[in-house]
Structure 1
Amino acid sequence: MSLSKEGAAREVTLASGTYIRYYEAGAPGDTPVVLLHGSGPGATGWSNFSQNIGVIADAGFHVLAPDMPGWGDSDAVATPEMDHDATLVEFLDVLGLDSAALIGNSMGAHTAVRFATLHPERLTHLVTMGASLGRGQASLFGPADGPSEGLKVIVETYKDVSPENMKALVDIMTFDKERFATPELTAARSDAALSRPDHLKNYVEGLAFGAPIPFKVDRSKIPDIAVPTLLIHGKDDRVLHYETSLRLLADIPNSRLVLLNRCGHWAMIEHADEFNRLVVDFLTHN
């Protein structure tokens, strides 16, 4: 379907009073699918998933892509008070959804994995791309002395959303920079970030409290995840090494991993057609 940002935009106030902007496509009676964006400055449900929402909806799914609190047009929140798991429960409740398939990129993947361990009855499928599990586990392949180069660029861009820093951010997220790190994408991310200085300020102040999100998944519970799980990761991801998805593959019994060559942190953007085919097939046949 042809889908515009303005045409897909919706808004809702949760039981806690939190205002949420989200993007919607497909019929409400179809199987619900919730898309969870990553954490970078300018990240929103639309900026992460504009190439996916309509295609997945056309395959017979009710697709919802919220801006999580602290991002996009949703309410600002200080990091110590941020609990995306609780927000997701409220979001499903206010929309009258008992359960949904969860698809998350980066921070959104972390939220989806944590949600699967805490509320197994409320999701039908789990899909991650460029998954994050937070720090605290020894790395075999990634940097051993601190954040990856990509995470360092994210933090620097939050501190100074200059055109140069935003260009560096978009560059490091993608493998094929000439094709995907476009001036249009850079400008869209920059505009989204600069429109909410409160989000930028909260993130920087929240670094001392574990930003982007303070509550991490209990890794000992990951082997209990029983829903069908699809793990997607770019081999050339410079933000979060595919080692994370290898660990998830080893721990989640009903899981499979697709490792994409010539792909950075944004599989749903760089390999949108393949990503959409993988997701639709997975949701349809599992």
Structure 2
Amino acid sequence: MPQQLTFEATDRLIRTPDYRIQINEAGTGHPIIMIHGTGPGATGWSNFAPTMTGLSDRYRCIAVTMPGWGASSPQDLATGRDQGAAIVQLMDALGIERAAFVGNSMGGGVGMIMATKHPDRVSHLITMGSGVWGPAVVGPTGMSEGMQALFDAYEDPTPARFKRLVSVMCFDPSFATDELAAERAAAAAANPAHLRNWLDLMRAGRGADGFAEAGRLLPATRVPTLLVHGRDDRTVHFELSLRTLALVPRARLVLLNQCGHWAQLEHAETFNHLVHDFVSQN
């Protein structure tokens, strides 16, 4: 039976040459670096506590709060957003040569940057609710429902806005609790500079720095890749994982029914099994 982990017992603050990066770390074995999505108030722990609990008996699990979120360094228009550099510096600081990457939404994009720009540092890539950017996120009719809710919460981080946001992220409404909405709203409000910086970067077209180039380079990657997507994702349509599947030579796709944008939370046991099987067999 996996041990129950706590934030306090796993919390670390890592200093690198250019960043302050908060992580949660537990377990030993092959490293798995877990990267959250772009939502306001997101952290590595809030996205991946069940994944760490399920896998830390076999792997060195590191849930990263990226610069621009939580207790990590701010990122603004002056500094830009080089998330690949942040991860490389973090790996160097932790003494990790190669790791498997697990990324939700934006975190999957960071994993793709690593797999294309720094493939020698990546043993496996697992994405969920991610993929190669396309019209299913921003198209002729505007942003997806989830992306609009996300923007609204950045602009006005109230519990009501976050209740709508977590409701859109989940297929099963029982996961979208008032407690989760209040927790995410409080985390966002605790770092108002992060909210302003994210909006500034997005409005300047800098919110996805590096992702488009990674998408163009994906056909050349040889990193084993597992794409996990919820059939009912209202933020990033599963079409984006289908686009990625067509580009990545060593990719496979698992599409989950009755699943929204947070497969690692709504289907935690299934997701943990998928990650373990993929990493151990490839």
Q: Does 1:63 align with 2:61?
A: yes
Q: Does 1:99 align with 2:101?
A: no
CA positional deviation for 1:214: 2.7
Q: 1:269 maps to which residue?
A: 265
CA positional deviation for 1:207: 2.2
| TM-score (norm. length: structure 2) | 0.95
In structure 2, relative to structure 1, the CA distance for the partners of 1:164 and 1:7 (3 Å cut) is same
**How much identity, in percent, do the aligned residues show?**
42
Superposed CA deviations along residues 242-263 of structure 1, whole A, max 9, x for unmatched, are 0010011111111110000010
Return 5+ residue gaps in structure 1 as ranges: none
Q: 1:8 maps to which residue?
A: 10
Q: 2:31 maps to which residue?
A: 32
In structure 2, relative to structure 1, the CA distance for the partners of 1:238 and 1:146 (3 Å cut) is same
Alignment of 1:130-279 (within 5 A): 130-134=129-133, 137-139=134-136, 143-177=139-173, 179-210=174-205, 212-218=207-213, 219-279=215-275
Q: Distance in 2 between matches of 1:209 and 1:87?
A: 21
- Is contact 2:168–2:235 with CA below 8 Å preserved after alignment? yes
In structure 2, relative to structure 1, the CA distance for the partners of 1:6 and 1:64 (3 Å cut) is same
Counterpart of 2:27, as a letter, is G
Q: 1:75 maps to which residue?
A: 73
Q: Distance in 2 between matches of 1:52 and 1:138?
A: 30
Q: 1:87 maps to which residue?
A: 86
- Is contact 1:79–1:203 with CA below 8 Å preserved after alignment? no
Return 5+ residue gaps in structure 2 as ranges: none
| TM-score (norm. length: structure 1) | 0.93
Q: Distance in 2 between matches of 1:42 and 1:214?
A: 20
- Is contact 2:131–2:244 with CA below 8 Å preserved after alignment? no
Q: Distance in 1 between matches of 2:189 and 2:104?
A: 22
Give runs of ≥4 in structure 1 deviating > 6 Å: none
CA RMSD of aligned residues (A): 1.5
Three-state SS of the structure 2 residue aligned to 1:50 is helix
Q: 1:119 maps to which residue?
A: 118
Q: Distance in 1 between matches of 2:266 and 2:82?
A: 29
